[in-house]
Structure 1
Amino acid sequence: MPLIGFHASHEQVHPSALLDAVIRAEAAGFQAAMCSDHFAPWSERQGQSAFAWAWLGAALQATSLRLGVVNAPGQRYHPAIIAQAAATLAAMYPGRFWAALGSGEASNEHITGDVWPRKDVRTARLGESVDVMRRLFAGEEVSTDSLVTVDRARLWTRPETPPPLLAAAVSPETAEWAAGWADGLATVAQDPEDLKRMVDAYRGAGGKGPLVLQVHVSYAPTDDKAVALAHEQWRTNVFSPPVCWDLDSPEAFDEAAKHVTPADMHSTVLISSDPGWHAAKLHEFAELGFDELYLHHVGVEQSEFIDVFGERVLPQVAQAGVTA
C-alpha cells in the first residue's frame, strides 16, 4: 500500500490557508505532505507564491507529518543556503524533512538577472550543487570555483542524520543520471508507460530509495465542475519540456495557454466527481512501483477535496493494497 500525502501548492493558496489545509489533511488521514517552491505562479489567475521555507517550519511545527519540498539550487538559491535551511529543519524535526532537487524553471530563476543556461549546463550545475550540499552536511568546509562558486562555507548547525535529497525528474534520461546521487526519485504523474520507463531507467541505473509521485487531481460534485475547475486554474500546466522550463513569466504562460481547451486538461490532471474512480487511478500508480503518492487538488479551495478524499478515497486505496 502506498503512502498517500497532501501536496501544498504555494502558487495557488495563501500560506495561512495552506497551513490550515495541511493541518486538516493530517486530521483527514493523509500520511505526509510536500510543497512547491516558486517565486512566481504559473498563471495570474493563481495569484500566490509564498516563501516555501518559512511555511515549512510552520507546517512541521503545526503537524506531525513528514514534509518535503521541490527545490532548484544553483541560481535563485545558492546551494550553501539551501543546505543550511535543510539542515536546520532536519535538526529541529528529525526524520521528518526531505527535499527533491531539480534544475529549475526560468519563471522562477530569471529574477537574479543571470542568463538562463542550456539544459545540459543546468543539469551539471545541479550535480555540483548536490555535491556541495552533501559535503556541508558531512561537516566539511567547502570551497569551489566552477558552475557553482563557494568560499569557505561550513554548516555549524547540522542534524545527526542528513535529510534525504531526492531527484526531481520528468524524463528517463534525467532519472538515469540522477540514480548516481539521489536518495529517491520524485516525478509527476503522466502516461503510465512513460512512468514505467522512468522507473526502469532509475532502478536500472542502480537508483535507490523511494519512488515519489505528485498527482494532479480535480474533484468537484459533478464532472463538468471538475473539468471547469481544472481548466480555470491549471491550463498553464499542460505544456511539456522545454516549454514549461523556458517560459519566464505568468503572463507568458497565460498567453501560451489561450488555446488550451477544457478537454485538454485530462492529459495532465485526474478529473472526476467519482471518488472510486480516483482511488482506482491511484492504485494503478502504486502498481507501477511508486511508494508515495502526493495529491494536488488543482483548485484554490482545498477543504472539500481533503474531506472527501480522506473519507472515501484513501480507505479505498488502502483496501486495494491489502487485497492486491
Structure 2
Amino acid sequence: MPTIGFHCSHEQIAPSQLLEDVKHAEAAGFTAAMCSDHLAPWSTDQGQSGYAWSWLGAALNATSLPFGVVTAPGQRYHPAITAQAIGTLGEMFPGRFWAALGSGEAVNEHVTGDGWPRKELRDRRLLECADVIRRLLEGEEVSYDGLITVDRAKVWSRPSTRPDLVAAAVSSGTAGRAAGWADGLITVNQQEGGDRKALEAYRAKGGRGQTRLQLHVSWAPSEDEALDIAMSQWRSNVFGSPVAWDTDSVEAFDELGRHVTEDDVKRAVHVSSDLESHAARIRQGLEDGFDAVMVHFVGTDQSAFIDAFGSEVLPQFADAPRGAGPLAGAAGGTTGRSTS
C-alpha cells in the first residue's frame, strides 16, 4: 500500500483534540502523519496554534505512525535548538521521525523583533541552517559565522541514524535548489501541475529520498457544506508569494481573506462531497511520482472525515504498490505552509 498520511494542523485544532484525531486516523488506516509548526494561525477563525515539539512527543508515543514536521529554523528557532529537538525525538522514536525545513513566514517569525529578510537572504539562511543542523545531528561540535551565528554547539542526545532533513518547497526553483542538501522533498497541491513541476525540478537536479505531496481537501456529505468548510477555514491560505510569506499579522490575513472568492478557494483546496473524486486526486499525486500523499482536511471537526476516508477512500489503495525506498512515509518530508 502506498503511504497515505494524515496532516495535523495546529493552527486549526486544539492540541488535546488533535492528539485524539491522529490516534483516530491511525485506527482508520492512515499510515503516516505530519504536522505544522506555527506560532500564529492564518486567521482568527482558525484560532489555535499549539507548540508542535511538545505535541510531537505525545503523538509519537500515542501512535506507531512515522511522523514529520514542517519547521523554519533561522529566526524564531536557532538551528542548534532545532537540531536538539530533532535529535531528542529521533533518539526516543528511532526511524519514525523526519523534519522538513523551510524558510518560514513573517507571521510566525516577526515576534523576535528582528527584521524579516528578503527572499534571497531567507534562502541563504535556510541553507546555512540545514548544514548546521545536519552536522550537529551527526555529532560534530559546530561553530559558524554567517547569516546565523553558532558558538561551539553540540547535540549530545541523538539517534544512531540521523533523521532525514527534508526540503519544504512550493516553487520549482526552490525545489531544484534544495536538491543539493535535502534528504527528500515535500510540496503542496497546486493548480496546473505546479506540485508535479516542483517534484520534477527536484529530481532533475539529483534530489534524493522520499517525496511527499501535502493535499488540502474539504469533504462533507453535501457540496455546499464542503465549500462552506473550505471558505470558513482556508480562505486566508490561498495566497502565494510574496503575500503568504511577508504578511506579518493574523489580522492582516483576516482582511485579505475578506476578498477571497469561492473559485480562489477551489484552486487551493480539493473541494468535493464525492469521495471518489478525493480518491482520484490522491491517485493522481501517486501517479505523478510522489511516494506519499499527506491529506489535510481543512475543517476543524476531523472525525467524520477520518471515518469516511477510512471506509471509502483508503481501502482503494490497499493493494497498490508501496512507494520506493525504505520506510515509505518515514524517511524524506508544507504547510501548515512553512514552504517557499
Bucket of the pairwise TM-score, normalised by the shorter protein: over 0.9
1:233 offset after TM fit, Å? 0.6
Question: CA 1:320–1:226 in 2, change beyond 3 Å: closer, same or farther?
Answer: farther
In the other structure, the counterpart of 2:126 is 126
TM-score (norm 1): 0.97
Q: Deviation digits for residues 269-310 of structure 1, max 9, x if unmatched?
A: 011111111101110111100111111110000000001001
1:25 alignment partner in structure 2: 25
| Equivalent residue number for residue 107 of structure 1 | 107
**Map of 2:201 onto structure 1:** 201
Aligned to 2:313: 313
Q: Is the 8 A contact 1:223 1:273 kept in 2?
A: yes
Mapping 1:172-321, distance limit 5 Å: 172-318=172-318
Contact 1:282–1:317 (CA<8 Å) still a contact in 2? no
Contact 1:2 1:290 in 2 (8 A): no
Q: CA-atom RMSD, angstroms?
A: 1.1
The match for 1:145 is: 145
Aligned partner of 1:55 in structure 2 is: 55
Q: What letter is aligned with 2:307?
A: D
- Deviation at residue 196 of structure 1 after TM alignment: 2.4
AA matched with 2:146: S
Aligned with 2:174: secondary structure? helix
Runs of 4+ in 1 over 2 A off after TM superposition: 317-322
More helix by share: 1
Greater displacement, 184-193 / 156-165: 184-193
Q: For structure 1, which segment, 199-208 or 262-271, has the greater mean C-alpha deviation from structure 2 after superposition?
A: 262-271
Q: Distance in 2 between matches of 1:195 and 1:300?
A: 25
Residue 256 of structure 1 and its aligned partner are, at CA, apart by: 0.9
Q: Deviations over 1:236-264 (max 9, x none)?
A: 01111111000011100011111112232
CA distance in 2, matches of 1:16, 1:308: 22
Structure 2 length as normaliser, TM-score?
A: 0.93
Question: 1:36 maps to which residue?
Answer: 36
AA of the residue aligned to 1:32: A
Aligned to 1:90: 90
Give the total of aligned pairs: 322
Give structure 1 stretches of 5+ with no counterpart.
none
Q: Secondary structure at the match of 2:43?
A: coil
- Matched residues in 1 for 2:209 and 2:319: separation? 24
Determine if the alignment matches structure 1 residue 74 to structure 2 residue 91: no
Q: How much does 1:129 deviate?
A: 0.4
Q: Using the alignment, how far apart are the partners of 2:238 and 2:320 within structure 1?
A: 30
In 2, are the aligned partners of 1:276 and 1:316 still within 8 Å (CA)?
no
The answer to whether the 8 A contact 2:2-2:320 is kept is no
CA distance in 2, matches of 1:281, 1:317: 12
- The Cα shift of 1:2 comes to 2.8
Structure 2 distance, partners of 1:319, 1:188, is: 25
Task: Using the TM superposition, give the Cα deviation of residue 192 of structure 1 relative to its aligned residue in structure 2, in angstroms.
Answer: 4.8
Q: Secondary structure at the match of 1:295?
A: strand
CA distance in 2, matches of 1:118, 1:61: 39
Q: Secondary structure at the match of 1:81?
A: helix
Paired amino acid for 1:167 = A
The question of whether the paired residues in 2 share the 8 Å contact of 1:167 and 1:183 is answered with yes
Instruction: Write the letter of the residue equivalent to 1:154.
Output: K
In 2, Cα distance between the equivalents of 1:140 and 1:288?
A: 38
Percent identical among aligned pairs is 62
Between the aligned partners of 1:241 and 1:288, the Cα distance in structure 2 is: 24
- 2:17 and 2:71 map into 1 onto residues whose CA distance is 22
Q: What amino acid sits opposite 2:12 in the alignment?
A: Q
Letter aligned with residue 81 of structure 2: I
CA contact (8 A) 2:6 2:30 kept: yes
Instruction: Check the 8 A contact 2:195/2:213 in 1, yes or no.
Output: no
